[in-house]
Structure 1
Amino acid sequence: MFSGSSTFVSEVDQAFLFILIISVIFFVGIVFAMIYFVVRYHHKKNQTVSQSSGNLTLELLWTVIPTILVLAMFYYGFIGYRNMKTIPPDALEIQALGRMWSWLYTYENGYQTDTLTVPVGKPVKIRVESADVLHSFYIPAFRIKQDAVPGMKNYVWFEATETGTFDIFCAEYCGDRHSYMLSLVKVVPQEEYASWYDGTAQFASAASGGAAGGGAERKPGSRGPMLVKIKGCVACHSIDGSPLVGPTFKGVFGHQVAVITDGKEREILADEEYLRRSILEPQTDRVKGFENIPMPPQNLTEEELAEIIAYIKELQ
């Protein structure tokens, strides 16, 4: 607690500690009072007891005191909530797209990555979206969490106060590999971030179809490793032959594959046409032995699709 990784840490932890202390005091007090009453007023034979119709002082105390405490808890919580929802106008904006089962971050220049990099001491606005099911963008060290809801654009912001690398989780169960939906946020000095951001321009151009490195001709499939990573393919499909939620990419091209088509089993050749159809229409020919799990839409361009297919062909 009070680690100081972001500007929200102090107020969130203070509210938590206040509620925790009050809860512990009441828990201990009530338990000891119950034990005392059990011992002090346990039933005795032939005992004459007095009857009381009420006690105004006690009734006022156990009404007023809890009301004050609840209002104090509300105050602490509301102040923190208000600060979290008031986004500074000069904040950097980055999109965080949740999809089964990875996070994709898109910067204002179009650069995409699966690791979030931000400057220290600068407010950062995260636009949280989902490509498929419910997810939740959660950075425990910064004390922030925001749901990613399909069809909605939600926002959360933070300002990191120290450099370092911190974990990012999905805090909403989203399927078989929910626990694998991990990412990192790297907080760097502002000068280092400015230099890094300027250097991403060539990669952003390459990802959108431009040629990095002065227009040099690229080998077909050279962007494949980057694309299958940032598009989230490797969250379900391995490139080393190991089994995941979906079939591996390694060694599939040029071989016969057992698939289920319209409820019937058949074998087809995994050629370029099959790879293209499996990416664009993954439910058409489902590989035998794997569940029919919906694949999130990727909005691939023709060039990106060709690069991924060329890369899969190389994985022999």
Structure 2
Amino acid sequence: MESGSGPSSPGTAANGRGDESAVAGQDGEEPDRPARDEAIGGSSAVRLVVASTAGVALLAVVGFFVLPLTAFDSATEALIRTLNRRLLLVAVPLAVLVEAILVYAVWRFHGTDRPLPTPENKRLEIGWTLATAAVLLFVAVVSYQVLGSAYVAATPEPERERPADAVTIEIVAEQFNYGVRYPGANASVEDADVIYAPTDRPVYFEVTAEDVLHSVHVPELGLKQDAFPAQWNLIHTRLYEPGDYRLYCAEFCGVGHSQMRATLRVVPPEEYRERVGAIADGGAAVGRNATGIGGNATAVDGNGANASVRSSNPARWDRSVQ
């Protein structure tokens, strides 16, 4: 009769339990410990998601009311930079949260040889879904408020109804200079070193090109618009601070592209009227060729030297030939 064929003795059963205990001891945990840890971790994760979402929402609300729109040089710059700051208020805490979770996961589970499946946790799934939806909704709302603004969005129709105190300035780009016309004063500069604009007025820059693709870019004011032949594009803004701002072409347009630049000089409304009136009268103007409509006049450039005069091209400002 073979030994061990009978029923297990109490000692054998005890040894069996001892073996199981030994296995549990080798793992360093009780058999039900992982499930308990997962439950505790899931509850903590839910609280962490809720707290993080509340923190992000608080920062967003603070951003709406604390960050001013008037500490900038133009309305366009104010909208763009304020949007960037508000998005950073959300993006930075979220980035820190994600990195913190990543570091915690590496530290917490780096010594685990036996991967365990993550149990279903509906509260956690609902929590991170709502948090993600809240962040995306915030980004959509604040972005639409800026991208839908007339100060930022390109408007294809420049001949719309405008405020009574609005100022329109036409800019024609060609290789490798800018021509400017002030319709309200019947004044134009064929090759402008300086373009004047008033403060505290709605300003409409109507932009086109004569030959190839150009652009009008004033980075300090947040202004940029492409200039296409046979098409008038619009820049709408309001300027706050007087001063000189760089204006240059941001689209490669030929060998002289790097020299295609001018100065946008923002001045008070009274000075603007005086400057433009002087150009219309054929007086001294900052530019290489200042003319009243229908005539030519010698202008004074930025160094005070007389510049060469060329005939004004009336068709340049005629919308019917564009």
TM-score bracket relative to the smaller structure = 0.5 to 0.7
Aligned partners of 2:119 and 2:145: how far apart in 1?
A: 42
Q: For 1:83-131, what per-residue CA distance to the aligned partner results, in whole angstroms no more than 9, with x for missing partners?
A: 4158843321111222233322122114123421011111110111122
Q: For 1:47-89, what per-residue CA distance to the aligned partner results, in whole angstroms no more than 9, with x for missing partners?
A: 3x43235332333333322322222222222222324158843
Q: Which of structures 1 and 2 has the bigger CA Rg?
A: 2
The answer to whether 1:28 aligns with 2:111 is no
Closer, same or farther: CA 206–95 of 1 in aligned 2, 3 Å? closer
Question: Structure 2: where are the runs of 5+ without partners?
Answer: 1-68, 156-160, 283-288, 299-305, 317-322
Aligned partners of 1:149 and 1:88: how far apart in 2?
A: 23
**Total equivalences in the alignment:** 222
Closer, same or farther: CA 105–56 of 1 in aligned 2, 3 Å? farther
Aligned partners of 1:190 and 1:27: how far apart in 2?
A: 46
Paired residues of 1:3 and 1:9 also in contact (CA < 8 A):
no
The answer to whether 1:17 aligns with 2:102 is no
SS of residue in 2 equivalent to 1:50: coil
The residue type paired with residue 89 of structure 1 is P
Paired residues of 2:290 and 2:296 also in contact (CA < 8 A):
yes
Aligned partners of 1:226 and 1:125: how far apart in 2?
A: 28
The answer to whether 1:149 aligns with 2:223 is no
Correspondence for 1:276: none
Closer, same or farther: CA 142–158 of 1 in aligned 2, 3 Å? same
SS of residue in 2 equivalent to 1:24: helix
Correspondence for 2:308: 225
SS of residue in 1 equivalent to 2:102: helix
Greater helix fraction, Structure 1 or Structure 2: 2
Aligned partners of 2:217 and 2:197: how far apart in 1?
A: 16
Shift of 1:205: 8.6
SS of residue in 2 equivalent to 1:200: helix
Paired residues of 1:2 and 1:13 also in contact (CA < 8 A):
no
TM-score, length basis structure 2: 0.59
The answer to whether 1:192 aligns with 2:258 is no
Aligned partners of 1:132 and 1:210: how far apart in 2?
A: 24
Closer, same or farther: CA 105–26 of 1 in aligned 2, 3 Å? same
Correspondence for 2:74: 6
Aligned counterparts, 1:68-107, within 5 A: 68-81=134-147, 82-84=149-151, 85=153, 88-90=162-164, 91-107=166-182
Correspondence for 1:137: 216
The residue type paired with residue 11 of structure 1 is L
Q: For 1:180-218, what per-residue CA distance to the aligned partner results, in whole angstroms no more than 9, with x for missing partners?
A: 3222111112111112222112339956663659xxxxx
Question: Structure 1: where are the runs of 5+ without partners?
Answer: 214-222, 232-297, 300-316
Shift of 1:17: 0.2
The answer to whether 1:159 aligns with 2:229 is no
Q: Tell me how large the CA RMSD over aligned residues is.
A: 3.3
Shift of 1:26: 2.2
Paired residues of 1:129 and 1:152 also in contact (CA < 8 A):
yes
The answer to whether 1:111 aligns with 2:188 is yes
Correspondence for 1:42: 110
